[in-house]
Amino acid sequence: MRARAMAVVVLLLLAGCSGGGGGDEGPVTLRFQSLAWQEESVRANKELVREWNATHEHVKVEYVQGSWSAVHDQLLTSFEGGEAPDIIHDASDDLADFAHGGYLADLTGLLPARLEEDIPRRSWETTTFGDGVYGVPFLQEPRVLVANATWLRRSGVRIPTPGHPWSWTEFRRITERLSGGGRYGVAWPLKEPVSATLNLSLSAGGRMFHRGADGKVTVRFEAGDEVVPRTIHDQAGIDRSASPTTLGSGGSDTLPGFFGGRYAMVPLGFSYRQQIVQQAPEGFDWQVLPAPAGADGLAQGVSPQTLSVAEDSPHKKEAVAFVDFLLRPKNMVRLALGDWMLPTGTRALADPALHTAKDDWATGTALAAHLRPAPAQSVRGYAEWKDKVATPAFQEYYSGAIGLGELRERLEKDGNLVLARYQR
Amino acid sequence: MRTRPAARAGQYAALLAYLSFLAFPFLWLVSVAFKPARELGSLHPTWIPEHPTLANFRQAFDEQPLLHAAVNSLLAAVGAAVVAVVVATPTAYVMARRRTRLTRAVSGWVVVSQAFPFVLVIIPLFLVLKNLRLIDSLPGLVLVYVVWALPFALWMLVGHVRAVPVELEEAAAIDGAGRLRTLVSVTAPLLAPGIAVTGLFAFVTAWNEFFFALVLLKSARQQTLPVVLTHFIGAEGVADLGPLAAAASLATLPSLVVFAIVQRRITGGVLAGAVKS
């Protein structure tokens, strides 16, 4: 009888130990929502998660595949419902609203010094809102000119390098020289004209958004802002050196014409090289050239890919530890190679694998030091300004429907009315 | 009345043009699915791939859990179709046969509910399902699909019930058939085409649905096919076109198969109904 009573007590104690939540005893499981989509990139991410899980008994990571096309809506709903993934992959220009909404954890004080020091200040600026840091920028890509190498060589034009790029004036002259007979020197894919124009305008000293002493932002379309749009407009409308049909196309849409010898150059993101390697006809010789430079050299704006931690995550420390693991220099190189992009980390960027002549990696890495936060990165109301004012205005300007004066008036007058509503 | 040969030729031409218009996207999708990457970048694309390959299908299956996602989609779509039909059929019968203020109010609500945009309902819906512990579960998704499909299903079925002459039910009653017997032996066979169409509608809408599945399913193992298809699309709309086309063309097959099966039933039912009336 006594033995039975003892057995009951032991069983109750055991039950007490194993039940009642037991959150401290079992392994922590973190959900990592990745937006990797290219074959090599998905593989690299999954491998890294596997490696983490194999070496971390108490913190397991579940890989969840997300998609770029719907990430904002999906995250917003998840945040509102308290069901967001612990670790969130996104782009820096998508973070401002989430950070202001209190959905993302401020990583200040959580990040290891190694990571903080490894990533340049200018990259951290893309994820810093107010006093907080709401994501780790880890991959970025410059916009480059992908050129038909054979065509350029035969034409005898000077081939630009990151050390000696074309100026915008020279670029216009060269595209005019390459054009004729139904062929064009350049095909601008400007389905999304605003970010392309604004980001490239940094090279000519364009800023567009000006923050006053009161902290309020206004739009001013000044001399530096005019250079890039005027070049594109004149190439398409005056010189006939830019294909007018591609102005409304996406980057991928221009590739058949590029491979078919219709355009000598296409300005594209650096990661488009993957598509070009896959789709270019046998023997097609292509090369990457730096985008033209202006008064501010090769500077251009970027919105890096980021890793953030959800404010609701009960395991922020563990989540940051995983981010730190994922972004160790060697791992950052694997992610960069998988996505055909550049790492933000200086040690990863120095890796020989990213300095090869193959697929012109070296040209891209030489541009990394010139990349700056996209001008509109932290401007509240930018999304509405872009959709309602800037996109139609630039589209009409590039198509020749309106002139530079009308473009300026709409960007400034209509644009400032939009921004003012967000800054009352 | 005889149709003139020229008019008939015109009719056939119009029909052919319409069929081509409908078939073009699907045939192009299938064509792209079998093309190697280099043909996708061609300035002069061909209908028939010059070097057909299964590499896109292999890559699609290697990269994403398509089979698992297809099973999830099938479970959600069949579940939604069955539950929608089971709930809508008796409700529609009552709404069609008993015209009271209540049924008129319900009809009005059905029409109004179709005007709600998704974004308006998604967050409250998310919270409700979370409290029911139905987030990230197929039963939760089925519940949403049923609620979503129900108004239109009711609308369709009410019309079908009204098309069944009430005199037939009265005749059966005079012949001594009970209420249940009349419903099962007289009304149900005449309603079969309507039920089939309603089930098909619920199946196809659930099979194709993307937004609710994207938001309500959290883990990789629960994701449905439309959600997985977006994983072939990158930032700024860049797409891995070959594998995407391969996966998308496979994703259209179940809808086509279900439609082919149910379509015969619809036609048969319509003809049977025509003879009886």
- Say yes or no: B63 and B140 in one domain: yes
Q: Which of A192-201, A376-385, B112-121 has the lowest mean pLDDT?
A: B112-121
User: Comparing A396 with B98, which gets the higher pLDDT?
Assistant: A396
Inter-chain CB proximity A65 and B231 less than 8 Å: yes
Instruction: Give the residue-averaged pLDDT of A295-302.
Output: 96
- Say yes or no: B32 and B156 in one domain: no
- Say yes or no: B167 and B185 in one domain: yes
- Say yes or no: B25 and B149 in one domain: no
Instruction: Give the residue-averaged pLDDT of A102-108.
Output: 97
CB pairs under 8 A between A and B: 113
User: Comparing A245 with B239, which gets the higher pLDDT?
Assistant: A245
User: Comparing A408 with B266, which gets the higher pLDDT?
Assistant: A408
pLDDT band at B27 (very low <50, low <70, confident <90, very high): very high
Q: At what angle do helices B101-113 and B138-163 cross, to 10 degrees?
A: 130
- Say yes or no: B117 and B235 in one domain: yes
Inter-chain CB proximity B122 and A77 less than 8 Å: yes
- Say yes or no: B22 and B126 in one domain: no
- Say yes or no: B2 and B92 in one domain: no
Tell me the average pLDDT of chain B: 87
pLDDT for the residue numbered B102: 83
- Say yes or no: B26 and B81 in one domain: no
pLDDT band at A165 (very low <50, low <70, confident <90, very high): very high
Chain A interface, best mutation among B218, B222, B240, B244, by max A CB count within 10 A: B218
Which residue on chain A is closest to B126 by alpha carbon? A81
pLDDT for the residue numbered B267: 61
Instruction: Give the residue-averaged pLDDT of A53-74.
Output: 92
How far is the C-alpha of A136 from the C-alpha of A271, rounded, in Å? 20
pLDDT band at A389 (very low <50, low <70, confident <90, very high): very high
pLDDT for the residue numbered B173: 87
pLDDT for the residue numbered B113: 77
Q: Where among B38, B53, B68 does a domain terminate? A: B53
How far is the C-alpha of B8 from the C-alpha of B135, rounded, in Å? 56
- Say yes or no: B8 and B142 in one domain: no
How far is the C-alpha of B20 from the C-alpha of B51, rounded, in Å? 25
User: Comparing A69 with A7, which gets the higher pLDDT?
Assistant: A69
pLDDT for the residue numbered B2: 63
What digits encode the pLDDT tens for the residues A27-47? 899 999 999 998 899 999 999
Question: How many CA within 13 A on the CB side of residue B45?
Answer: 17
What digits encode the pLDDT tens for the residues B132-155? 989 889 999 999 999 889 888 988
How far is the C-alpha of B80 from the C-alpha of B20, rounded, in Å? 32
pLDDT band at B266 (very low <50, low <70, confident <90, very high): low
pLDDT band at A2 (very low <50, low <70, confident <90, very high): very low
Domains: count for chain B: 2
User: Shortest CB distance from A252 goes to which of B38, B62, B239?
Assistant: B239
- Say yes or no: B35 and B85 in one domain: no
Inter-chain CB proximity B38 and A74 less than 8 Å: no
- Say yes or no: B119 and B27 in one domain: no
Above 50 in pLDDT, residue B272?
no
pLDDT band at B237 (very low <50, low <70, confident <90, very high): confident
pLDDT for the residue numbered A25: 62
Above 60 in pLDDT, residue B270?
no
Structural domains for chain A = 25-140+303-368 (3.40.190.10), 143-302+376-422 (3.40.190.10)
CATH number of the domain bearing residue B73: 1.10.3720.10
- Say yes or no: B44 and B14 in one domain: yes
Domain of B7, in residue numbers? 1-53
Instruction: Give the residue-averaged pLDDT of B148-176.
Output: 88
Residues 6+ apart with CB under 8 A from B254: B70, B73, B74, B77, B207
pLDDT for the residue numbered A17: 39
**C-alpha B118: how far from chain center:** 18
Contacts of B235 in chain A (CB under 8 A): 35, 68, 91
